[in-house]
Chain A
Amino acid sequence: MSTALPIVDHPQAAKEFVTNVPRSHWHDDSLWFVRTKRDRQAQSLPEWEYLRESASAIKRHTIANLPDYLQEFEANATRMGAVVHWAADADEHNEIVLELLQKNHTQRIIKSKSMLTEECGLNEFLIENGIDVVDTDLGERIVQLRGETPSHIVLPAIHIKKEEVGETFHRHLGTRKGEADPQVLTEAARGHLRGKFLEGEVGITGVNFGIAETGGIVVCTNEGNADLGVSLPRIHIACMGIEKLIPRFENLGVFTRLLARSATGQPITSYTSHFHGPRDENSELHIVLVDNGRSRIRDSDTFRDALNCIRCGACMNTCPVYRRSGGHSYQATVPGPIGSVLGPTKDMKAHKSLPYACSLCGSCTDVCPVKIPLHHQLLAWRGVLVGKRLLAWNKRIGMKAASWLFRHPRLFFAAGYMARTALRYLPHSLTHNRLNEWAIDRELPEPPKQSFRAWYAKNRSEKQPEESR
C-alpha cells in the first residue's frame, strides 16, 4: 500500500511498535500507571472540576484578548528589566536566539525542556551554526544522546527501557556495561551534567506561564535543571509561545494546582520558579515570544480552544491509541490527542492521518485540565479533511456507498438480508481475507436472526402511535 494514502501514515508509523506486543503492553502499562497517579491527585481535591472550569475560562478569556495581554506583558517584562523579542515563525525564533548567542560570543548552551524549541528545531539549527547545545532534563538528555526526539512532552524517554538507557550511558558516559539500575544511571547523568552546567555560558528554558500583569515568567521542573541552568550563567533566554500567557499573578493559583497533578500525579512540581526580570544588573533575561501558527489557530472557532493547552500530557497518558502505538508514531513534535489536533494546523496534508489515530472514546477530553474538547476537535478535523478531499480513497468510496445505501430504504433492507444470510454461510477465509483490514484482529459479529425492522413489526407494531408512518 502506498504511503501517499492518508489513512496509512499513522498505522504505518506505528506498525513496528505495535507488532512488538510485549513492548507495546509495557508502554501501555507505564502510561496507565501515570494516569492512575493523576486520578488519585484529581480525586483528592473536591474542587477539581471547579478548577478545570476556571482554568478553561481564564484561558479562553486570555486567548480572546491576546493582543492586549501580549502588549501588557511586554510593557511589564521590560519594566522588570527583561528584553522581549517577537518571532513570527520558527525561523525567526531560531535566528533571534542565535543572534543573542553570537552577540555575546557564547558557544555552550545548557537547555531545559521546552516543547517550543523542539517545535522550532532550535537544537539542530544551533548545532549547524557551531553551537554546543546540551539538553539537561534527564529524559531529553537520554533521547539527545541516542539521536532521537522526545516521544512524550512530559516524559521524553517513556518509550526507552532502562537496559537501553544503560547501553546509551555506557557508550557516552562510560557507565559499566549492562548497568540498568535507574538510581545508578541517574547518578551518572547527574555527574555528567554537573560539568555541563558549570561550563554553560547561556541558559535556555521554556516557559510554563507568562503573567501579563507582572511581566514575570514561571518555569516548572522536578529535576531543578532549569534553575541550575539559569542561576549560573549571566544570560537566560526564555522561549515562550504566545498562548502561554495568563492575565494575572493570582491566576497562577489555578494553573499550578492543575499542571503537575494532571501531568505526573504530583501535587506540584518540585520547583516552581518565578522570574521577574534578570538576576542582577550584570545579567540578562531575554524572552522570545513566538507565534509560529498560533494566531492562525486562534482564527478558527472550531480549533481555538486548543490554545488553552498547558502541555501537561494527560491526554497522551490516557489515550488508548497513544499508549499502544508510542509517541513516535505521530511523527509530530507534540504527539497524542492534542498533537493530532495541532499537527494538521501546521500542515494539513502531512498530518492528515492523525485525526484518525483516535477511537473518539473521549477520555482525553475528560482528563484535560483546561477542558479542550479534544475528541470533538479530532472529529471536526475529519470533516475538514473530507471537505479538502484529503481522505483515503478506500474510506471515501466506502462512505459514499454507505450514504447512498442509507438513502434507499428498499436496497438497505435487501442488503441487510443478504449480509445476515451471507455471514452465516461464508467461510472464514473469505470474510477474513487480506482486503478486510478491520478483521485482522477481530471477529465479525454473530448475524442476528432477524432485522430490527422485522422485530419491531412483530413486537411493537400494534403500539405504534397513529401519527407515525
Chain B
Amino acid sequence: MIAEAFDRQPQRSKQLILDRLRGRAVKSKGLPEIDRSRLVRFDDPLAQFRETLGFVGGESHLVDSPEQVREILMGIEVFANAERIASTYPEAIEPTVQLDRTGDPHLLSSLDWTVVRGEFAIAENGAIWIDGGTLPHRVMIFIAQYLAIVVSRSQIVDHMHDAYARIGTPEPGFGVFVSGPSKTADIEQSLVLGAHGCRKLQVFLTP
C-alpha cells in the first residue's frame, strides 16, 4: 500500500480527470451577473445588524470611545477576572499576552479573552469581516474562551454581495466572517453556545 502510494504519478491523474471532462463538451450560458437592484436594502442597517447579531447569539454595544469599551468589559465578570488577554485594540484593552513574542500558536491555548478589530459588518446576517492580516496569530480568535470585536458602525453593508465587493481581490492569507459565538445543536437540536471557539461574543460599535 505504502509502496504504491509513492509510485503514484500525480500528473497522470490530473490529465486523466481533465481528459474525462474534456471528452464531454457541455454547452452552457454565460456566468450570470447579479442585478443589484433586486437585492434587499435596509433602511437602518445598524438596527438590522444589531437585531440579527442578537438572533445569532452575539451581544452588541454602541460606544463612542475606547474608554467606554473598557468600562463595559470591566463590568463583565469573566472579563474582570481574566488573566490572559490578547488584544489588537490597545486603545481600550492592553494585552497581557505579548503576541509578537509568542512564536508557537499552541502557547495561546489558555487565552481567556481576545479583543480584535473587525473591518466591517453585515446587516443581513450579523457577521463581521476579520482580516487575518491584522491578527498576529489567527488562532487567537478561535481559541480564546471569550471574544470581543470592535467595528465601526459607519462600516455596515447590507448583504454578502456588498461584503465581497468591499473585500475586493483577496491577498494571500486568511479572512473570516464571524457571526455570533461558536455554537452547536448536534445534541437533539438543542442550541449550545461555546462549542469549540468563543463562548460569547461581544461586539462594540464605535463611531
A and B found bound together: yes
Instruction: Give the contact stretch, choosing among B61-69, B73-81, B83-91, B177-185.
Output: B177-185
Q: Mark A145-179, 1 if CB is under 8 A from B, else 0.
A: 00000000001111011100100000000000000
Of all chain B residues, which has the CB nearest A29?
B189
Q: Judging by beta carbons under 8 Å apart, are B179 and A88 in contact?
A: no
Q: Which of A102, A161, A228 contacts B143 (CB 8 A)?
A: A228
The stretch from A263-271, A331-339, A352-360, A362-370 touching chain B is: A263-271
- Find the B residue at minimum CB distance from A63: B26
> Inside 8 A of A269's CB, which chain B residues have their CB?
179
Contact of A270 among B138, B165, B182 (CB under 8 A): B182
Question: Would you call B127 and A232 a contact (CB within 8 A)?
Answer: no
Asked if B172 and A223 make an inter-chain contact with CB atoms under 8 angstroms apart, the answer reads no
Interface: B171 (CB within 8 A): yes
Within 8 A of A (CB), among B1-33: 1-2, 4-6, 8, 10, 13-14, 16-18, 20-24, 26-32
Closest to A143 in B: B186
A214 to B17, CA, bound (A): 21
With A47-B40, A277-B173 already in contact, the answer to whether A165 and B187 are too (CB < 8 A) is yes
**A176-187 interface bits toward B, Cβ cutoff 8 Å, 1 = contact, 0 = none:** 000000110111
Q: How far is the CB of B3 from the nearest CB of chain A, in Å?
A: 11
Interface string of A103-143 (1 = CB under 8 A from B): 00000000000000000000000000100000011110010
Question: Which A residues from 263 to 286 make CB contacts under 8 A with B?
Answer: 264, 266-277, 279
**Known contacts being A139-B186, A222-B183, is A272 close to B34, with CB within 8 Å?**
no
User: How far is B163's CA from A228's CA once the two chains are assembled, in angstroms?
Assistant: 24
B188: CB under 8 A from chain A? yes
Do B186 and A157 touch across chains, with their CB atoms under 8 A apart? yes
User: Do residues B17 and A88 form an inter-chain contact, with CB atoms below 8 A?
Assistant: yes
> Assuming the A-B contacts A222-B183, A272-B176, A276-B174, are A248 and B5 also in contact, with contact meaning beta carbons closer than 8 angstroms in the complex?
no
Cα distance A346–B187 when bound, in Å? 31
Q: In the complex, A63→B28 CA distance in Å?
A: 9
Are B188 and A161 in contact, CB atoms less than 8 angstroms apart?
A: yes
Q: Which residue of A lies closest to B2 (CB)?
A: A102
Q: Identify B197's interface contact among A45, A139, A182, A223, CB under 8 A.
A: A223
Smallest CB gap from B186: residue in A? A139
Contact A277 B18 (CB under 8 A): no
A382 contacts B by Cβ under 8 Å:
no
B178: A residues at CB distance < 8 A: 270-271
Q: How far is the CA of A264 from the CA of B56 in the complex (A)?
A: 12
Assuming A45-B40, A228-B143, is B195 touching A252 (CB within 8 A)? Answer: no
CA distance A92 to B26 in the complex (A): 27
Interface status of A190 (Cβ within 8 A of chain B): yes
Say whether, besides A54-B34, A182-B190, A268-B179, A214 and B169 are in contact (CB < 8 Å). Answer: yes
Bound state CA distance, A334 and B164, in angstroms? Answer: 31
Residue from A34, A46, A50, A295 whose CB has the most chain B CB atoms within 10 Å: A295
Q: Are B187 and A65 in contact (CB-based, < 8 A)?
A: no
Chain A residues within 8 Å of chain B by Cβ, number: 98
Q: A71-B18, A224-B142, A295-B17 are in contact. Are A186 and B38 (CB under 8 A)?
A: no
Q: Contact partner of B56 among A156, A254, A270, A289, CB < 8 A?
A: A270
Contact with B along A200-214 (1 / 0, CB 8 A): 000000000000001
- Whether B138 pairs with A231 at a CB distance below 8 angstroms is yes
CA distance in complex: A129, B2 (Å)? 9
Stretch from A14-22, A191-199, A425-433 contacting the other chain: A191-199
Docked-complex contact B188 and A268, CB < 8 angstroms: no
Contacts of B27 in A (CB 8 A): 64
Known: A57-B32, A250-B161. A273 touches B176 (CB 8 A): yes
| Residue A379 interfacial (CB < 8 Å) | no
Considering the complex, give the chain B residue whose CB is closest to the CB of A246.
B31
User: B47 on the interface (CB 8 Å rule)?
Assistant: no
A11 at the interface (CB under 8 A from B): no
Tell me, in angstroms, the Cα distance from A231 to B56 when the chains sit together. 24
Q: Nearest-CB distance from B188 to chain A (Å)?
A: 5
Q: A71-B18, A227-B197 are in contact. Are A182 and B174 (CB under 8 A)?
A: no
Report whether A224 and B182 are in contact in the complex, using a CB–CB cutoff of 8 Å: yes
**Chain A, Cβ-Cβ closest to B31:** A61
Is B172 a contact partner of A276 (Cβ separation < 8 A)? Answer: yes
Q: Which of B119-149 contact A (CB under 8 A)?
A: 122, 124-127, 137-139, 142-143
Query: Interface-forming stretch among A2-10, A93-101, A449-457?
Result: A93-101
A87 proximal to B (CB < 8 A): yes
Contact B170 A276 (CB under 8 A): yes
A residues touching B (Cβ–Cβ < 8 Å)? 30, 33-34, 45-47, 50, 54, 57-58, 60-61, 63-67, 70-71, 74, 80-81, 85-88, 92, 95-96, 98-99, 102, 129, 136-139, 142, 155-158, 160-162, 165, 182-183, 185-187, 190, 193-194, 197-198, 214, 216, 222-225, 227-228, 231-232, 242, 247-254, 256-257, 264, 266-277, 279, 289, 291, 295-296, 298-299, 304
12 A–B pairs (Cβ distance < 8 Å), ordered by A:
A63-B28, A65-B28, A70-B18, A190-B196, A197-B196, A222-B195, A249-B164, A251-B31, A267-B52, A273-B176, A276-B171, A277-B173
Give the 3 A-B residue pairs with the shortest CB-CB distance, closest first: A224-B197, A64-B28, A267-B125
Residues of B within 8 A of A (CB): 1-2, 4-6, 8, 10, 13-14, 16-18, 20-24, 26-32, 34-35, 38-40, 52, 55-56, 105-106, 109, 122, 124-127, 137-139, 142-143, 159-165, 167, 169-190, 192, 194-198
